[in-house]
Structure 1
Amino acid sequence: MSVHVMTLQNRPKFVLRRSVKSLVVSTLFSSMTLYPAGESVAQQIKSVTVGVVERETIRDHVAVVGTLIAKEEIRVNALLGGKEVRSILVEVGAVVSKGQPLAVLDVEGVNLLLERNSVQLTRAAYAVAQEQSRVDVAAVTERETRKVVERSRSLVGKGAVSQQLLDEHENAFSRARSQLELAHQSLMLAEADRKLIERERAEISLTIERSTVRATEAGLVLSRNARVGAMTSSSGDPLFIVAKDGLIEMEASVSESSFVRLKEGMQAQVIVPGIDLPVQGRLRLSAAQIDPATRMGTVRLELDQSKALVPGAFVHGRIEIGQRSNVTVPATAIRSQNGGASVFVVEDGRAILRSVTLGSPTGSAIEVLTGVEEGEIVVNKSGSFLKSDEQIHAVPAPGSTAQNLSSLEVEGSVAQ
């Protein structure tokens, strides 16, 4: 069986024209697929949002965590020991004024002593009045006998009065004078007895007054240990603890390295549960020494809105210890890879990947210690879609300074 092989030379012309036409159509179709109509190679360049490296004020902070406590706790104790608590007048959370009654102790026996003292005081007053009357009578007698003696002495020389009568008058005067002196002494004893009874009454009244437990300072009642029926002890736990003037502050512990950098008066911000905005404060007090066991130092922060804070709440914040000026870039511009950081810097329309050394975060930006200079243009959002030395279309970020971006060819406004 013979096979006829058709070569290009001996192929019919109509077959050749059909093959060439098919090749042209296939080539055109492939070209249309790779480069859609109306799209050029230049239009394949990525558009990215860029911004200017700016200089900002960088504030150094020390982070702190701690608890809200009373600025000054007032311990209210019973001034009478061994007395039963009869009633409680306030509860935890109450705002009290200075001298306000908080609890009442049972002093029924003392009230009986007060009644008995009243009777004794009445008797003492009567005794004083009686002795005073005796003094008055004795004084009159003493004056009369003195006059008689003086008259008798003037008449005895004339013979009008005998010596015997003069002696009798002088004896009567001596007795009257002695009785007056005795009456004065009795009056002094009666007055001393009355003063003693009055002093006892004052002590009884003081005991009754102390049976009412009062707030020694105005403030907020933090705790109540008093229980109805319990016996008091002047040396035991306080019946109440009051935050003086209701002032609350933060007590925090900081590391040794941070503690030595703190000074009183430094500004602080504290995040408090239930309050939307940070609470402003100041460093009021630092401990005199660092705990040798924990290597931590204790500080106290005086806070604004103190009366709106709840003691015992766990809070955190930061203390501003200084500030400096340095350049920053958006946090989204940082590309982390292999333990290092880098940013894309725009140079001659191309994104150049450059290593940087980072400093402190400042909200949505990060301080850059080395790697970029103020005024340079960086890609705001770094990502794997970009490669170093890749040509880009730079789109200014909202708020960028136009004069800093004037050298860029910016097209569009859509960020990648």
Structure 2
Amino acid sequence: RKAARANMEQAKATLAVARDWLRKSRLIAPSDGTIAFRDVEEGEVIVVPPVTVITQIVDLEHLKIKLSLGEKDIHILEDHKRFKFTIDAIPETQFSCRLTFLSPVADPATRSFPVELIVEKPDKRMADGMTVRVKLPVVFKKATIKLPSAWLSEENGKMGFYIVEDGKAVFKQVTLGSYYDQRVEILSGLTEKELVITTPSGLKSGDAVRY
């Protein structure tokens, strides 16, 4: 009887382990969505730690558009809450979105304010990561300079561009406006006659420049 009881206890322990393995083999999503990718195969053993990302779920029913606005353009959002936009992959169709978030703090790297818009009535053809073009009612009082944002530099916590003066690099602090297709609007601090350095990486004021 002792042997039978020991065998029963061992069987119960084995069953408990099997049930635990079965429980751990099931993945329950925290919300509805579409699987974006899967990095493991069925039956594969996952060892933790370290933490392993095995999949990602994207909620295509609640899509957001993220963009940035310069301080001179924030006032646009006071009177306008809904906007039209297009998607590069679906250029023939125009969609609608509405404002859901405007950061009260500027991004220290770009000096612009992050904005979030939620897509109204998402289309099945939309996908996370697509490039969109939002139509904002921006009106410029005067013509402004727009330069590639890749030319921007930071010196002593200030944003600006390096220009050439007397064969040397000189940092010019500027006031930035809005960003458009990887270009940034220059509201003040730079003139059209100044020669801007297009590859400022590693430069500092006073460095000799060949051009």
* TM-score, normalised via structure 1 length: 0.27
